[in-house]
A and B are shown apart, each in its own frame.
Chain A
Amino acid sequence: MDQFVLAMSKFKRQKYDDCIEICTELLKKNEYDQATWLLKCRALTMKNYIDDLEIDEEGVADILMDDNAMATAPRPGTSFSRPTSSANGGISQNVRPMSNSGRPISGYMRPGSSRMGAGSSRGQLTTAMKANRPGTNRAVTSGGRMLRIGTASMANSGGQFIQADKINARNTAKKKYMAKAVVDYLIYVEGNFRRALDVASEATVLSKYEDWWWKERIGKCYLKLGMIKEAERQLQSSIKTQDMIVTHLELAKVSMRRDQALKTIEVYQSGLEAHPFEVHLYTGISRTYEFINDPTNSNKLCKVVLNFDNTNVEAIATLASYHFYTNQPEIALRFYRRLIQCGVNNSELWNNVGLCCFYASQYDIALPCFERALSLADDTNIADIWYNIGHVAIGIGDLGLAYQAYKIAVSSNPQHAESFNNLGVLELRKGNLEQAKANFQSSSTLAEFFEPCYNSALLLWKRGDFQESYKMIQKSLELFPDHIDSKELKKNLTQHFAAF
């Protein structure tokens, strides 16, 4: 058996570690075996490969110093950073919890959906590094996920395979059959976009600008380096040379980085003209609509996606949460059931099924669902599940259970603002004004949603502390400018002040 053939076969069957091992052995015997070297290079790349079209996280530094947005004051419904300004009738903040930048807190978790908007508390350096739970989550460093994965793998593969700094860009590019592998290695393993760009730039010249792949990789590198305009130019040119789906997806990312929602949709749509049935393009449009809080259009596209790919978890989950928040728990339940049939089995899903059952008045099924959710839960989500159980308990009037559920929620996650808010309400019912106030207070400092602010404003107002109440109501309106009750209370307060 030829060892090289075996390595090749292992590579094909995604046994990258075995492949790398065999290649390393072979290279020990013959250092100048180019084919083996190339195979090892590819195997290392594939081992570290992540689909960066899907996972695109910007580093804290990039977000803090983001000056790529085209318009500083975008019109309503055109910007990712101001989704609350949607003109298209998204779900109200009253119904669906949202962060102060207007992103829904619940729903399908996508890459980028946790991107902080302007004005968020994470926008400041001092608070940016804070995650939900102290010490468990680190903000993404600049260079995104790629850099860290790169450094982690280095230890395994025994030192650097390619010395990025010693590469002569021109000579590498000249070796036509090596260059692509080397560039991919630099991008996916090393995360060294600058060197990758050097090689790719030389190579694209050598190919007389006729190879779409080089242009696409140059575009990718430019985008990673934050040079948006250049990236766009290269990608467009690449599409002109040869129309590939990947290039469209990459190009859409450029528009997204520039905060141009409508342009992003346009890019996807132009991609759809050439590739009319491509699920990823539809998904992209659907996500974009979701980001600008336009669920109607987003759902339309989710349905298209499901037409072509009926097990697409993202589309099913998006539709389910939409139906849930538009008061159709029975339909949402059907979608969640489909997810269960598809083999998804995690605590979030069971939790949602439980909620749907509860709101659809199927009380006998709801509690076992929560039980199941609890049995599958871990530290990251158990607080949310207890919070929901608390909700159900309030719904059935068992305030004792609700109180205990919220207590458990805050004990397992002391940052759980929603539970604090609800605990406050329960304390208020019990007549413990001080505790209620303290709960609202801690909830409003932890959270980025309006409820605790409004609650505490109302409480303070009733107790006659107008000044504090006014402060809280202002905070509430800052988070949710259209909240009727807050406006009402503010009006009352202003009248009082005028009377004084």
Chain B
Amino acid sequence: MSIFEIKEWWGKKVGEDEEFDTNNICVGNVNNATAGGNKIVVGSFQGYLRIFEPQKGEYKSWQLLIEKNLEEGILQVGLGIYGDSGEMLLAVLHSRMLVIYAVETVEDTTQLSLVYRHELSRNSFNFTQGMFGKARNELICVQSVDGQLTIINKDTVQIEIVLPDFYLPGPLIYAKQSDSFIVSNTNLEIECYRYSTLNMQVEARDKRTIKADWTCNIGEQAFHMHYHKNKNTRKYDIIVVGTQTLYILTEGAGKIRYQRRLDYPPSCIKTYHLNSASEIYRDENRDVDQIAEGGANSPCFTFLLGSFSNYILVYRDVQLVWTCKTSHAPIFVDISEFGGTEGLIVHFADNGWLQISYLGTEPPKLNYILPESKEMKYEEMEAEHQRLLGRILASEQDEKTEPDYALSLDYELSKVEEADEYIDDPDNIYAKGDSGRPVRIKCSIILNYDGDEVKNLMVNVNVPDHCEADKTVFSYKILNFGGQRDFKESFYIYARNDFNPVSNEVVVSASYMSPRSTSGVDLRTACKIFELPMTFNCRIIIPSNLKDPNKITIITDKDAAQINSFFEDVIEDLGAHSICTTPNVMSFMYHNNTIVTILISKNAGKFRVQSASFDALGYIIHELIKRINILYSNDVKVDLQDSIPLHELFTAIDDHFELREKIFKSKKKLEDRSYQFRIVEKRLINRFKDKNPTPLNNLDFLLNQTYQDMMNIANEIIEYQKDLKNAAHNLSSRVKIIQILLKYKFDISRESYKLLQDHLSADIHDFDECGWEEHTYAAMTHLLKTCLAKSSKESNASNASIKRLTDTAKLKKHLTIVCDRLARGGVISL
């Protein structure tokens, strides 16, 4: 969309689906019209020959002087005085044939008449012409695909000679001054063969390979060559265009006189001189006269370069003076006179676009201007602005209006059962019932929606660690609630046999797009949390061992009660009346065979929960307190006798932290080893690259060893990560216990308890830099600095960035202090 676009003077798309190359066009007075006037001759690979006589303006059909199908692909067309008559003749090269035509125009009809034709013995590639050996008319030299030069004078073949080591044919030109042919060879060089040398060798029937007069190594495949008579230096230049560079070679010795690297892939070139003399670039160091004398280090002429990036660039000496964009990549460019206008640019694309143009600028087109940038009224803009501001303000103030319809979730739990079909359990992790089949519970989620349909509904089920669901994600593109108002999805939850139950909550969350009553959709979510029944998590067994080391005592302000009254439903479900005979003792066994026992005092409302494993206590305490509250309809004061068992928590923290440290160290070590590995590798590569390699000095052994090490460490890390998962579970369960104990011991209100759960979280996520310890440390510090601060002086919230802890001493200290402050009546608030 540059403003420097080319302006069309005349244009025509030649042929349909025909193909052309640089050599397939030439410009000149082909029909020897007395009035002069240049014509354009175009021959296509498909064998069509056309001659145009352009005039300014639109293309008219009469401008096509002749169009003829020559039946065979045209490789090159050329104009020259090939005969004695002094008339301009047209040479057409086919693959195995060179034909010379005379073109005559008599009363608006143009005809081709054959002058002579040569059958060629080899497949030809291109030709060049000139008065070789000071002949009076122009001769033609055809280059074949395999490197034979055939020199043809009028109707006779003069010379046939094969160039040595020839693989890929390239451009061929004739240099008049030195009377020689210049070709490019496969070794990325330019070679020069004198006509006289060729002639002599043929006449002497010399079988030796011919020697080039000179070769010039340009290091690139040459694509275009031109022979240019330089008016300023009064010498002849050979211009070579390679893949990326423009070279100017001297004719005599084949030395590179000038080279210019191009930023673009060049596609064609035309060199010429301006009529005015100001062609040579001047600056303070250059004396124009001196340059003309010789030793020129710049082109000293003007040239046009076409590029495959659709540009035509005009250079004057070393300066780029104009760039313009064309619609097609030009493969041929020439300067010529048409209709009395000099200096028009003829350019031709390989798909047949033939144009005659001149340079000009085009003012920026309208498509710069955006379509919507129409004139707007200030009032309207202001009104819209106000409306938008209002909306932004409304959304910032969180005054969201609830949509008309909302999705609600509900659930149904079946009885705990044993699977009646075969369940694949390779790792043996599912808890088995009496019949040896996995224990499971059927869970149904009921989606209820009062609108018509929701889109992109996604339901996620999150089950606690100690169980597994057979399906956790349900998704629907569109769910139509049309007639029925609810929708049911079912899945099974299986109990695992390797974890204590910690949290008993199943979280079901749904996200969906709900269509708004007006237009558009809202992204909404819904969530439902429910607990699994106790029967799913444990069984009641006959109490046996009443002296477990870990115990927690719960005191209520009520009188003594019978244990069975609290767990009536469980006993019912399990059918365990026969077992529950003792009124003050009850034992539960989890699926991982841990036993938890509840003892009730005979005199007062005191409960003792005890187990061999501390981690196991949490769940039963939770259930027990829940049931106490239900039984006494919340009119009960629950208290704890023991102190907060921080010690147990600390051991879990230590275990967890130690594993994280181990992983961290191993990773560090792995990084070291991999660094070492790369260094050794680099050394080795250097050794092998040397011409005279020094001994390896056991470097190979070191490389192997380092690799072994890396592998071992990686395996170690995997092991640690497994352990870490278990440690995290233990930690989580203990945190949970602590949470409950803190709540009842210090009588924390519901809101504060929620905050406490957020600060001292039982959700454990571990990353290298930032794990549970860091989070909790930061949270405890925050609590101590804000709501639990000793004095107002201390309360200074600053969100220091969270850093990796090096040991847990500080964390423990802060945890202890937090408990202390809570004991002294501290309240957690925002």
Report yes or no: A14 in contact with B265, Cβ–Cβ below 8 A.
yes
Q: Tell me if A477 counts as interface (CB < 8 A to partner B).
A: no
In chain B between 369 and 392, which residues have their CB closer than 8 angstroms to a CB of chain A?
370, 373, 389, 392
Q: How would residues 33 to 69 of chain A score, 1 for a CB under 8 Å from any chain B CB and 0 otherwise?
A: 0110011001000100101000000000100010000
- Within 8 Å by CB of A13, from B21, B258, B800, lies B21
Report the Cα distance A9→B4, complex, angstroms. 30
Report yes or no: B217 in contact with A213, Cβ–Cβ below 8 A.
yes
- Within 8 Å by CB of B260, from A34, A227, A277, A341, lies A277
B320 CB to nearest A CB, Å: 5
Chain B: which residue is nearest A309 at the CB level?
B320
Report yes or no: B260 in contact with A1, Cβ–Cβ below 8 A.
no
CB contacts (< 8 Å) of A49 on chain B: these are 243
In chain B between 318 and 377, which residues have their CB closer than 8 angstroms to a CB of chain A?
318-321, 323, 325, 331, 350, 364, 368, 370, 373
- Within 8 Å by CB of B297, from A9, A216, A276, A438, lies A276
- Within 8 Å by CB of B3, from A310, A341, A460, lies A341
Report the Cα distance A293→B686, complex, angstroms. 34
Report yes or no: B146 in contact with A35, Cβ–Cβ below 8 A.
yes
Report yes or no: A343 in contact with B261, Cβ–Cβ below 8 A.
no
- Within 8 Å by CB of B219, from A216, A225, A404, lies A216
CB contacts (< 8 Å) of B542 on chain A: these are none
Report yes or no: A39 in contact with B168, Cβ–Cβ below 8 A.
yes
Name the prevailing secondary structure of the A interface residues.
Answer: helix
B386 CB to nearest A CB, Å: 12
Report yes or no: A14 in contact with B4, Cβ–Cβ below 8 A.
no
**Given A38-B167, A277-B260, A375-B370; A343-B217 close (CB under 8 Å):** no
Most buried by B among A35, A375, A460: A35
Q: How would residues 336 to 369 of chain A score, 1 for a CB under 8 Å from any chain B CB and 0 otherwise?
A: 0000111101000000000000000000000010
Q: Which stretch from A97-105, A241-249, A488-496 is at the chain B interface?
A: A241-249
Interface size on A, residues (CB 8 A): 71
Chain B: which residue is nearest A242 at the CB level?
B217
Q: Tell me if A387 counts as interface (CB < 8 A to partner B).
A: no
Report yes or no: B219 in contact with A12, Cβ–Cβ below 8 A.
no
A256 CB to nearest B CB, Å: 18
Report yes or no: A5 in contact with B392, Cβ–Cβ below 8 A.
no
In chain B between 252 and 296, which residues have their CB closer than 8 angstroms to a CB of chain A?
256, 258-261, 263, 265, 267, 281
Q: Tell me if B209 counts as interface (CB < 8 A to partner A).
A: no
- Within 8 Å by CB of A38, from B22, B168, B244, lies B168
Q: How would residues 406 to 448 of chain A score, 1 for a CB under 8 Å from any chain B CB and 0 otherwise?
A: 0000000000000000000000000000100110010001000
In chain A between 150 and 204, which residues have their CB closer than 8 angstroms to a CB of chain B?
176-177, 180-181, 194
Q: Tell me if A371 counts as interface (CB < 8 A to partner B).
A: yes
Report the Cα distance A35→B671, complex, angstroms. 52
In chain B between 412 and 432, which residues have their CB closer than 8 angstroms to a CB of chain A?
none
Report the Cα distance A371→B112, complex, angstroms. 61
Q: Tell me if B45 counts as interface (CB < 8 A to partner A).
A: yes
Chain A: which residue is nearest B299 at the CB level?
A277
Q: Tell me if A396 counts as interface (CB < 8 A to partner B).
A: no
Report the Cα distance A465→B796, complex, angstroms. 9
Report yes or no: B125 in contact with A34, Cβ–Cβ below 8 A.
no
**Given A211-B217, A276-B297, A308-B318; A5-B323 close (CB under 8 Å):** no
Most buried by B among A61, A194, A275: A275
Q: Tell me if B109 counts as interface (CB < 8 A to partner A).
A: no
**Given A225-B689, A308-B320, A375-B370; A35-B167 close (CB under 8 Å):** yes
CB contacts (< 8 Å) of B221 on chain A: these are 42
Report yes or no: B799 in contact with A441, Cβ–Cβ below 8 A.
yes
Interface size on B, residues (CB 8 A): 71
Q: Tell me if A111 counts as interface (CB < 8 A to partner B).
A: no
Q: Tell me if B114 counts as interface (CB < 8 A to partner A).
A: no
Q: Tell me if B95 counts as interface (CB < 8 A to partner A).
A: yes
Q: Tell me if A17 counts as interface (CB < 8 A to partner B).
A: no
Q: Tell me if B2 counts as interface (CB < 8 A to partner A).
A: yes
Report the Cα distance A312→B320, complex, angstroms. 10
Report yes or no: A213 in contact with B188, Cβ–Cβ below 8 A.
yes
Report yes or no: A1 in contact with B392, Cβ–Cβ below 8 A.
no
Q: Tell me if A280 counts as interface (CB < 8 A to partner B).
A: yes
Report the Cα distance A434→B258, complex, angstroms. 67
In chain B between 194 and 241, which residues have their CB closer than 8 angstroms to a CB of chain A?
217, 219, 221, 223
Chain A: which residue is nearest B285 at the CB level?
A276
Report yes or no: B2 in contact with A212, Cβ–Cβ below 8 A.
no
Report yes or no: A277 in contact with B318, Cβ–Cβ below 8 A.
yes
A497 CB to nearest B CB, Å: 17
Report yes or no: B261 in contact with A5, Cβ–Cβ below 8 A.
no
A232 CB to nearest B CB, Å: 16
CB contacts (< 8 Å) of A5 on chain B: these are 75, 95, 123, 125, 145
Report yes or no: B22 in contact with A12, Cβ–Cβ below 8 A.
yes
In chain B between 67 and 106, which residues have their CB closer than 8 angstroms to a CB of chain A?
72-73, 75, 95
**Given A8-B125, A14-B308, A65-B679; A213-B325 close (CB under 8 Å):** no
CB contacts (< 8 Å) of A181 on chain B: these are 186
Report the Cα distance A49→B323, complex, angstroms. 25
Q: Tell me if B298 counts as interface (CB < 8 A to partner A).
A: yes
Chain A: which residue is nearest B223 at the CB level?
A12
Q: Tell me if A266 counts as interface (CB < 8 A to partner B).
A: no
Q: How would residues 238 to 282 of chain A score, 1 for a CB under 8 Å from any chain B CB and 0 otherwise?
A: 000010111001000000000000000000000000011111100
Report the Cα distance A464→B319, complex, angstroms. 64
In chain B between 649 and 693, which residues have their CB closer than 8 angstroms to a CB of chain A?
671, 675, 678-679, 682, 685-686, 689
- Within 8 Å by CB of B244, from A34, A51, A225, lies A51
Report yes or no: B260 in contact with A213, Cβ–Cβ below 8 A.
no
B174 CB to nearest A CB, Å: 20
**Given A35-B167, A216-B219; A278-B261 close (CB under 8 Å):** yes
Q: Give B residues with C-beta under 8 Å from A.
A: 1-4, 19, 21-22, 45, 72-73, 75, 95, 123, 125, 145-146, 165, 167-169, 185-188, 217, 219, 221, 223, 243-245, 256, 258-261, 263, 265, 267, 281, 297-298, 308, 318-321, 323, 325, 331, 350, 364, 368, 370, 373, 389, 392, 671, 675, 678-679, 682, 685-686, 689, 796-801
Q: Which 8 A-B pairs have the closest CB atoms?
A: A343-B2, A1-B73, A277-B318, A177-B186, A213-B219, A35-B167, A9-B21, A2-B123
A-B CB contact pairs (8 Å), 12 listed? A2-B123, A5-B75, A9-B45, A12-B22, A13-B267, A180-B188, A216-B219, A225-B685, A227-B689, A308-B320, A342-B4, A460-B798
Q: Give A residues with C-beta under 8 Å from B.
A: 1-2, 4-6, 8-9, 12-14, 34-35, 38-39, 42, 46, 49, 51, 61, 65, 125-126, 176-177, 180-181, 194, 211-213, 216, 225, 227, 242, 244-246, 249, 275-280, 307-312, 340-343, 345, 368, 371-372, 375, 400, 404, 434, 437-438, 441, 445, 460, 463-465, 468
